[in-house]
A = this chain, B = another copy of it.
């Protein structure tokens, strides 16, 4: 039996494309590919989408609701940013399509003038959280390539900041001199010691990284250089974001592995963060936008 969704949910980031065939809020099927924004030319977005969803399309025009970097200047088409403070879901931008079997709407990102900051995609996960918990008053941390810390109150995004922790980790562990030292070994205590060390003396960040490499050369390897690198970078992020998490109700939305690391690190400060399922939040946010488009 063929799948005929009411609408199609799309999370289209820099390096991945994920689609869900939806009936109201229920998922009928899910697919994904590595056709992220970074891999596509301007004319390549519609074909990349159709390659995943073609078999789900019927006679009429199926609405497609998308979020993420697909709405950036380098994406399918620009979906303008909302300005903080703002509710996280704004009017979607319609993308030009050739195939009459779809209409494509992309949700806007959010921008902040001072300090300058932007997000695309995370606002939809936040919309999902607010759809599920309208009275949420606290901070959402969304760990990833560019981790976001977002203050939420009265169903609005008040202000936010980004740390490039995931991207720094990738560059340092794969392309810097530290790549010679990073192994698959992991040790929780090494991670926590590094978080604690950098949070209490953040001014030492710049001198602490090279010692990961040097320790191996002088015969003083730590139990896990990988855990130490993660601990230094996440510790530096927590030091920078202290005004966000201190004394707040913190929810984490991201991959299981990253959220668990952030929760461990925050526990050092006495804070118990809740971990929310990232895909569920994305779908709840896209569903809220789809339902809004029907009224």
Say whether B171 contacts A176, CB under 8 Å.
Answer: yes
A241: chain B residues at CB < 8 Å are 206-207
A116: chain B residues at CB < 8 Å are 211, 214-215, 217-218, 220
Cβ contact of A239, chosen from B206, B217, B218, cutoff 8 A:
B206
Chain B proximity of A113: nearest CB distance (Å): 6
> Is A240 interfacial (CB 8 A cutoff)?
yes
Say whether A240 contacts B207, CB under 8 Å.
Answer: yes
The CA of A111 and the CA of B205, in the complex, are separated in Å by 21
Say whether A118 contacts B206, CB under 8 Å.
Answer: no
The CA of A218 and the CA of B218, in the complex, are separated in Å by 47
Cβ proximity bits A221-260 to B, threshold 8 Å, 1 near / 0 not: 0000000000001001101111000000000000000000
List 16 contacting pairs A-B, 8 Å CB cutoff, sorted by A: A111-B217, A113-B218, A116-B218, A116-B220, A117-B211, A161-B207, A163-B207, A164-B176, A175-B175, A202-B202, A203-B242, A205-B205, A205-B240, A207-B237, A207-B240, A208-B240
Interface residues of A (CB under 8 A from B): 81, 111-118, 146, 161-165, 167-168, 171-172, 175-177, 202-211, 214-215, 217-218, 220, 233, 236-237, 239-242
